[in-house]
Amino acid sequence: MKSLFILNEGPYGSERTYNALRLAGTLCGREGNEVKVFLIGEGASCAKSGQKVPEGYFNIQVMLGKVARAGEVGVCGTCMSARGINEFELAEGAHRSTMAELAQWTEWADKVLVF
């Protein structure tokens, strides 16, 4: 199964991003699954490397890395620019992306999950 996860929220403050990445990581580990994650809006900040993780939270950068090693992680370029994030600051495995790539991934996917 081909799954696309679209994450709209930042890395910390709620459990949406954490839970989305838990599911994406689990699917990556199962035979026959392909996973892509697209970070948009506040979700773009999830891919900024070197973040100090608040006490009591899981490291979102580590969780993204797991997905990136098995699938793909794209970050909305417009959203990156709005937040002052450049491509050199992205976590390993994440890349600057576009709405055109999101459209392509949406057509590719059997399931689209939006968090």
Q: Tell me which residues of the chain have a pLDDT lower than 70.
A: none
- Return the pLDDT at 56: 83
- Return the pLDDT at 102: 98
54-60, long-range: CB < 8 A, 24+ apart? 54/12, 57/12, 57/18, 58/18, 60/11, 60/12, 60/17, 60/18, 60/21
Task: Give strand pairing partners of 90.
Answer: 48
Sorted by where each starts, the structural domains of the chain and their CATH numbers stand as 2-114 (3.40.1260.10)
Task: List the one residue out of 57, 54, 90, 89 whose CA is nearest residue 72.
Answer: 90
Reading the block at residue 65, the tokens are 């890395």
